[in-house]
């Protein structure tokens, strides 16, 4: 098992390589890093990879159109995955593909965290928009979701993108919180309307924007 120091050093090397070819203000604001740990089920060897992300795409349950929480969605994103059959992973210790488990961790948090809900379901039997009412906090502590990325993981919500309608015909609106007085506004085409904080949310919620709070 690699030490925490060794993993941090590996994470930094991957980050440096990414920034060397993708250095921009957008990367500075929105880019975080995921750690992927794949464990061979035959010999127990663990391999690690570090990948950048600009947003996290969170899956919604497809069974019923009901209410779910952001915590449910993040837990689903981070839950351990079993790699078998055609998805078997190559083990450098066994020198061949083996059944394995894969675990994700958010090891570096961005200044602006973007969370996207996968509301459009596609499969051989399903092609529809998922209308779950996703409940989410206005203040988000990523430490609650097992994030090991940094000591300060406290965010506040400042923007929401909504999608109304169906897959065939939809309309986008947005809510945004003023940094000056904390007032929420709804943006709907050319119309800008002050709204109460309780208005923000519901089954039309599509993308959340959280800003990292100062330590």
Q: Using an 8 Å Cβ cutoff, are 76 and 57 in contact?
A: no
Residues contacting 193, CB < 8 A, separation 6+: 185, 186
Q: Using an 8 Å Cβ cutoff, are 124 and 133 in contact?
A: no
Per-residue pLDDT of the chain (215 residues), as tens digits, is 567 888 889 999 999 999 999 889 999 999 999 999 999 999 999 999 999 999 999 998 876 667 889 999 999 999 999 999 999 999 999 999 999 999 999 989 999 999 999 998 877 666 778 888 999 999 999 887 766 556 678 999 999 999 998 888 889 999 999 999 999 999 999 999 999 999 999 999 999 999 999 87
Residues contacting 129, CB < 8 A, separation 6+: 119, 120, 121, 163, 166, 167
CB-neighbour burial class of residue 46 (10 A; exposed 0-12, middle 13-18, buried 19+): middle
| Phi, psi angle pair for 41, to nearest 5° | -80, -5
| 20-39 as b/e: b if 16+ CB within 10 A | eeeeeeeeeebbbbbbebbb
Cα gap 109→211, rounded to integer Å: 11
């Amino acid at each position: 098992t690699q030490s925490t120091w060794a993993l941090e050093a590996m994470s930094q090397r991957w980050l440096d390589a990414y920034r060397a070819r993708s250095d921009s203000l957008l990367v500075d604001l929105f880019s975080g890093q995921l750690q992927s740990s794949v464990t061979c089920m035959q010999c127990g060897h663990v391999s690690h990879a570090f990948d950048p992300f600009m947003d996290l795409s969170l899956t919604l349950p497809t069974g019923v159109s009901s209410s779910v929480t952001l915590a449910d969605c993040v837990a689903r994103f981070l839950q351990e995955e079993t790699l078998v059959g055609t998805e078997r992973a190559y083990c450098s210790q066994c020198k061949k593909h083996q059944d394995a488990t894969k675990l994700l961790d958010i090891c570096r948090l961005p200044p602006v965290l973007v969370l996207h809900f996968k509301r459009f379901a596609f499969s051989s039997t399903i092609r529809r928009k998922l209308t779950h009412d996703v409940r989410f906090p206005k203040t988000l502590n990523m430490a609650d979701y097992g994030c090991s990325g940094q000591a300060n993981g406290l965010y506040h919500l400042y923007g929401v993108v909504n999608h109304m309608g169906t897959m065939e015909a939809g309309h986008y609106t947005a809510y945004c919180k003023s940094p000056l007085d904390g007032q929420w506004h709804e943006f709907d085409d050319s119309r800008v309307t002050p709204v109460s904080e309780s208005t923000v949310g519901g089954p039309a919620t599509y993308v959340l924007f959280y800003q990292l709070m100062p330590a």
